[in-house]
Amino acid sequence: MTGSKKERKTMTRSKKDRVIIFDTTLRDGEQCPGASMGLREKLEVAGQLARLNVDIIEAGFPIASPGDFEAVKAIAEQIKGPRICGLARCMNKDIERCAEAIAPAGARGRIHVFLATSEIHRKHKLKKAKAEIVKTAAAGVKYARKFCKDVQFSPEDAARTEPDFLAEVVRAAIDAGATTINIPDTVGYTVPHEFRDLIAYLYDHVNGIDKVTVHVHCHNDLGLAVANSLSAIESGARGVECTINGLGERAGNCSLEEIVMAIKTREDALGVWTGVKTEEIFRTSRLVSQLTGMVVQRNKAIVGANAFAHEAGIHQDGILKERTTYEIMCPQDVGIHDTELVLGKHSGRHAFKNHLQKMGFHLTAEELEKAYDSFIKLADKKKTVYDDDLVSIVQEQVYEGPRVFTLDYLHVSTGNQTVPTATVRLRREKEVFEDAACGDGPVDAALKTIDRIANVQGKMMDFSLQAITKGKDAVGEVSMQVAYGDVVVAGKASSTDIVEASAKAYLSCLNRYLMSRKKAPAKKKPQSRGKK
């Protein structure tokens, strides 16, 4: 037999053993508190998901808001390769709106309809009898088929639904024309053997299920989303719905990077495979983390900072002698390489533009100029400029959106024998405002000063800081959530100065809040230094 061992293995793979990767980062992942993205950010993530070679992108819930509709439609228009899916309840108005949004994708469009089926949902949320649930599910699928040949049906909270009734609903959906059946563990309640048995039960009791693709959608409330998904695959499921970095409501969804690398690393045990380009995993993880502001924990499997780090002496000795002693996969398999200098302060605009394009960013001439100016300022501050630095620049300069206030000047005085004080100057269009305040530390003082200038009181709900590059001159990325009354807004920013990064992130939250209210801040003004 000719060819390498790897080539022979690939040749023996069968289509029936391929696991479809359905990415719902832009829909379910964005429902994670504080993880919302704008249109431009969603398009960048969708483009990177296409490079990752996921099979399906669930782009949003079109009926939920005009913004969601526009995002799904734009992704359907601009992203090539994966199927583009929109979510809809089993309601005609939802389905019509979804069909309109995915229409630009043509034959690659998918409508995903869902309806709760568990007893607890029937009794307390829907207040409907079993017969009405079956009828509504079938009607929703039939109506969706009028607009789209590719229709997916999900019985919400399937894992807590009586198996015989679940089988009845699934059978009705298939008879109505569903091409994919998705079985969600909506609240992350099941354990692996239960979920494996449930999928097996459906295969044994639903006529025609072998003619459709069965997906699973597991949540991580008990930390079992990946384990449950793998168990379902053992019982015949051939699609996994997942998100980058495991983003999602509550404890999140099945992590794409974990399920994909589990399948790749243990193909010998699982007997299945995916079409994902795993070398794009780390880049995708970092992009989603940057654009959502959701920090990846250091010990996160596959993409965390410690995933391939070894501190113990015995481990280090083993790794030096043979990597496989303590590593079951290569960092390069997921796209982790030693970070290299990519550009310097003498690099021109052309080189800067080309490098950003290789990273997947396509900026207008005006956006490129703003990003380049920030790059030059950063290159003057630090010796080495990394890809993560550039992602941060693009995020801050291009994706931040309209701003009411911008930071013009920041000075802090702090120490263990003095009262921390911050002086801040903000610009609003042509007006410049300056004030000062004291605080528990330099960051607190800076944020209190911003509150005084804007005359808007924010309450810090969450604050995190991480170094996104290495070295003493590393860029620090600050992510935070700030409450303005009942409204909680997320923001992020980065700088080599963590106080400046904090002030910019807080301003990002303030600006988003003010823009969402479509009104200027209160008329009360602090000392003004005039127009400039």
Q: 303 near 281, Cβ under 8 Å?
A: yes
Q: What does the pLDDT read at residue 120?
A: 96
Q: 257 near 244, Cβ under 8 Å?
A: yes
d(CA 304, CA 285) in angstroms, rounded, equals 9
Q: Is residue 212 part of a domain?
A: yes
Q: Is residue 61 part of a domain?
A: yes
Q: What does the pLDDT read at residue 503?
A: 95
pLDDT over 90 for what percent of the chain? 61
User: Considering only CA atoms, which of 347, 342, 356 is closest in space to residue 385?
Assistant: 342
Q: Is residue 286 part of a domain?
A: yes
Rounded to the nearest 10 degrees, what angle do helices 256-265 and 281-292 cross at? 170
Report the CATH number that the domain containing residue 78 is assigned in CATH: 3.20.20.70
Domain co-membership, 55 together with 125: yes
User: Is the pLDDT at 310 greater than 60, yes or no?
Assistant: no
Tens digits of residue pLDDT in 112-167: 999 999 999 999 999 999 999 999 999 999 999 999 999 999 999 999 999 999 99
User: Is the pLDDT at 318 greater than 70, yes or no?
Assistant: no
Domain co-membership, 438 together with 331: no
Domain co-membership, 181 together with 113: yes
Mean pLDDT of 4-28: 78
Look up the domain containing 374 and give its range: 349-397
Q: What does the pLDDT read at residue 512?
A: 84
Domain co-membership, 161 together with 280: yes
Rounded to the nearest 10 degrees, what angle do helices 349-358 and 365-381 cross at? 100
Domain co-membership, 316 together with 353: no
Identify which has the larger pLDDT, 485 or 381.
485
Q: What does the pLDDT read at residue 532?
A: 35
Mean pLDDT of 16-25: 97
Domain co-membership, 268 together with 188: yes
Domain co-membership, 318 together with 221: no
Chain centre to alpha carbon of residue 361: 17
Whose structure tokens read 């309209």?
A: 402
Tens digits of residue pLDDT in 200-235: 999 999 999 999 999 999 999 999 999 999 999 999
Identify which has the larger pLDDT, 293 or 377.
377
Q: 358 near 373, Cβ under 8 Å?
A: no
Averaged confidence pLDDT in the chain: 87
Q: How many CB atoms lie within 10 A of CB 181?
A: 26
Identify which has the larger pLDDT, 163 or 309.
163
The burial class, CB within 10 Å (0-12 / 13-18 / 19+), for 352 is buried
Domain co-membership, 376 together with 425: no
Q: Is residue 302 part of a domain?
A: no
Q: Of the spans 329-338, 351-360, 474-483, which averages the highest pLDDT? A: 474-483
Domain co-membership, 167 together with 200: yes
Mean pLDDT of 457-485: 84
User: Is the pLDDT at 319 greater than 70, yes or no?
Assistant: no
Instruction: Give the helix ranges, DSSP H, for 5-88.
Output: 5-11, 39-52, 66-78
Domain co-membership, 328 together with 377: no
Q: Residue 255 has what DSSP assignment?
A: B
Domain co-membership, 56 together with 197: yes
User: Is the pLDDT at 1 greater than 80, yes or no?
Assistant: no
Q: Is residue 472 part of a domain?
A: yes
What is the band of 315 on the pLDDT scale with cuts at 50, 70, 90?
very low
Mean pLDDT of 330-337: 83
Q: Is residue 3 part of a domain?
A: no
Q: What does the pLDDT read at residue 520?
A: 41
Q: 470 near 493, Cβ under 8 Å?
A: no
Q: Where are the beta strands (DSSP E) in 188-296?
A: 213-218, 239-242
Lowest average pLDDT, out of 301-310, 313-322, 456-465, 499-508, goes to 313-322
User: Is the pLDDT at 3 greater than 80, yes or no?
Assistant: no
User: Is the pLDDT at 325 greater than 50, yes or no?
Assistant: yes
What is the total count of domains within the chain?
4
What is the band of 38 on the pLDDT scale with cuts at 50, 70, 90?
confident
| Domain boundary pick from 379, 397, 415 | 397
Identify which has the larger pLDDT, 187 or 357.
187
